[in-house]
Structure 1
Amino acid sequence: MNLVVEQAAARWYKEQMGLSDGDSLRIFVRLGGCGSVHPGLSLGITKEEPRKPGLLQQVEGVNFYMEEDNVWYVDNKELRISFDEKYEEIKMNVV
């Protein structure tokens, strides 16, 4: 399992959420939405300090992570977070 956050996506989150170096963003599994991996589930993101991170990557000074109890969502795959400049939106893909 791997977490890859592209720099453009990290910069977008920093700007849009007013984040500073050292802040943490938790990626979590939520009920509903249009997740492509598990029907009826999708990923959300919130500013929160880690308790037991299972996946972690620091980009642009921000810690992006998933807690241990949520990594099953990306089981043996890679979660890639990117920014689509054409549509000016974040994309979360599990590949």
Structure 2
Amino acid sequence: MEIVISTSALKWFQDEVELKKGDMVKFFPKVYGNSPVQEGFSLGFTVDNYPIDIIVKVEAEGLLFYIEERDLWFFNGHNLHVDYNEKTEEVEYSYTKATK
């Protein structure tokens, strides 16, 4: 499994969330909503510089984006792609089946 952060999503995190070099962003399942990989759950994020058990991570411009082992079930064998939607002015998530 991997996390892919687009350049436009990275810029959104830097500008809107005001992340600075060294900050960490955790992606995690939320108990409401829907996603293409889990019915009844959606994906959220939080700035969390105290990870417990990182299982997947990607670093971009000094920022670390990660998923903890306990949340891996949510992705159901899919990679996470994070992009920025100009119309909604929000980040959006898409998922592709992991090949590994």
After superposition, where does 1:24-43 map in structure 2 within 5 Å? 24-43=24-43
Q: What do residues 43-68 of structure 1 show as CA deviations (whole Å, max 9, x unaligned)?
A: 11001022211110011221110101
Superposition pairs of residues 42-53 of structure 1, within 5 angstroms: 42-49=42-49, 50-53=51-54
- For 1:71 and 1:6, the matched residues in 2 are separated by 21
Kindly provide the amino acid, as one letter, of the partner of residue 94 in structure 1.
Y
Instruction: Kindly provide the amino acid, as one letter, of the partner of residue 59 in structure 2.
Output: Q
Q: What SS does the aligned partner of 2:38 have?
A: coil
Distance in 2 between residues matched to 1:33 and 1:44, nearest whole Å? 10
AA aligned to 1:21 is: K
What is the root-mean-square deviation of aligned Cα atoms in Å? Answer: 1.2
Residues 5 and 81 of structure 2 are in contact (CA less than 8 Å); yes or no, is this contact kept in structure 1?
Answer: yes
- Aligned counterparts of 2:20 and 2:69: Cα–Cα separation in 1: 24
| TM-score, length-scaled by structure 2 | 0.86
Identity %: 29
State the match for 2:22 in structure 1: 22
Partner of 1:72: 73
After superposition, the C-alpha distances for 1:29-87 in whole angstroms (9 at most, x for unaligned) are 11002322111001110010222111100112211101011112123221100112243
